[in-house]
Amino acid sequence: MATTLFKNAGLATIGVLVQGVARFGYTIIIGRTLGAESLGQISGLIALSVFVSLFWPTGAGVAASRFVAPHTDSDSSHTSTPEPIPALVRDLLISAPILAVGTLVAALLIVPDILSALAAVALSLSFSAYAFTRGAAMGQGRFLRIAVADTVTSLSSLTLLLLVLLTGLSWATLLPLALGYAAFAWVCWPRGGHPARVSNPVIRRFVFYNSLAQLATGGALQITMLTARMFDTPTNVGLFAAAFSLATPASMLALSANQVLIPHFARLNVSDTVAARHLHRRVLLLATAGFTLVFGILILLSPFLIDLFYGPSFSGATPYMQVLLCGVFAYSISLVPAASLVASGGEREYTASSAIGFAITLVISLGLGTSLGAWAAAIGYVAGSTVSAILILSTRGRPLIRRSRTAMQY
């Protein structure tokens, strides 16, 4: 079992790293080609698209990973329960037009250009499909397909971006990224992925709570980018966007571990809760030691990395990057106990802990934004992430075993 876990984690990490490098490459190419102001604008639209997906599709992807896993386990005694994928697809399709309208309105506030706003809508919908499909494919154990699809679609997106820039179609800058995510969703669409006629109330409740948690955790980072744009100059927003693009990929290892651990813990909580607790302790210890080393090195190397990828004109982004890395470190540490909580029926505790951290980030970012600008967003994110991580770690220490069995019987 340990060999399978590490193999799946390795494949998931490859996919997450490739996607992260591709999105990072996107910002590098745009920053060097179009300048800091355009980089801030495009980064704001990408942040908006990711943020919108957190309202339902990302939570649906986590639910797919969580509830599909026992159906793919031949030893599970719960395979007689209804297949969760059709119910999730139904709710995903219902949410799509609502999210599209919301994205269009918000995008027009960021960039008063209808074509750019429509491109942001396309990115939002395709990323939403990607987030759901990836979670479902992981629940079905299709890790190799995910890694290959991530690699091919990422390279294709970067190639198409170069063509868009060469042709001077600035409004279409987001479309290559949107096409890449859409292609992934098409290739990795889950087996049995047809919409059901009715929703599953238990799964819908899980998605609701997990979406709130996703908004609080992932949304906090996106909020920093949006609030920085609200309260600071275009040049400083470009510097902040450069730091943002270098700091956020550092959480990819934790994200890949989280995505693999949720279905793995879900299976163990059905068959062996003691093994699940022991695995949680071992993985948390290894993750803490590894992340401390990795993030410490990244903070020290921040000036070099900024200069390497963006050039001397972006040297002012170094302090932003160092502070943001502290927040990403706290977020990364929390993802291991978060996976255990979600898989064992503790999604409400996870949501509450994440919501408190998000509230702290939002209050500081908005409250101090007029006086500190982008710095308010950076400080708010670190404070919120740290408090949220502490709460998640402490909550995971409480006994959740009694819920893990009933949570699986939906």
Residue 164 and residue 384: Cα distance in Å, rounded? 38
pLDDT in tens, 226-241: 888 889 888 888 899 8
Residues in the chain: 410
pLDDT in tens, 137-153: 888 888 889 999 999 99
pLDDT in tens, 50-66: 888 888 898 898 888 88
pLDDT score at 357: 93
Give the type of residue at 301.
L
Is the per-residue pLDDT at 350 higher than 80? yes
Give the type of residue at 182.
A
Residue 45 and residue 174: Cα distance in Å, rounded? 8
Query: Under a CB-based contact definition with an 8 Å cutoff, are residues 42 and 174 in contact?
Result: yes
pLDDT score at 172: 87
Plot region of 166 (φ>0 → left; ψ -120 to 50 → alpha; else → beta): alpha
Report residue 67's pLDDT band, with 50, 70 and 90 as the boundaries.
Answer: confident
**Chain mean position to CA 240:** 19
Q: Residues of the chain with pLDDT > 70: what percent?
A: 90
Give the type of residue at 239.
L
Q: Which range in 66-75, 94-103, 217-226 is most confidently predicted, on average pLDDT?
A: 94-103
CA distance between the termini of the chain? 26
pLDDT in tens, 384-394: 999 999 999 88
Domain boundaries, the chain: 2-408
Query: Under a CB-based contact definition with an 8 Å cutoff, are residues 196 and 89 in contact?
Result: yes
**Could you say which DSSP state residue 111 is in?**
S
- φ and ψ of 122, to 5 deg: -60, -40
Give the type of residue at 108.
L
pLDDT in tens, 247-271: 887 787 787 778 788 887 877 766 6
Residue 42 and residue 20: Cα distance in Å, rounded? 16
pLDDT score at 140: 84
Tell me the average pLDDT of the chain.
84
Is the per-residue pLDDT at 128 higher than 90? yes
How many CA atoms lie within 13 Å of 270's alpha carbon, on the beta-carbon side? 23
With H, G, I as helix, E, B as strand and everything else as coil, classify residue 200.
Answer: coil
With H, G, I as helix, E, B as strand and everything else as coil, classify residue 173.
Answer: coil
Least confident interval from 29-33, 87-91, 103-107: 29-33
Report residue 375's pLDDT band, with 50, 70 and 90 as the boundaries.
Answer: very high
The residue among 99 and 65 whose pLDDT is bigger is: 99
Is the per-residue pLDDT at 362 higher than 70? yes
pLDDT in tens, 13-40: 788 778 878 887 888 888 888 887 788 7
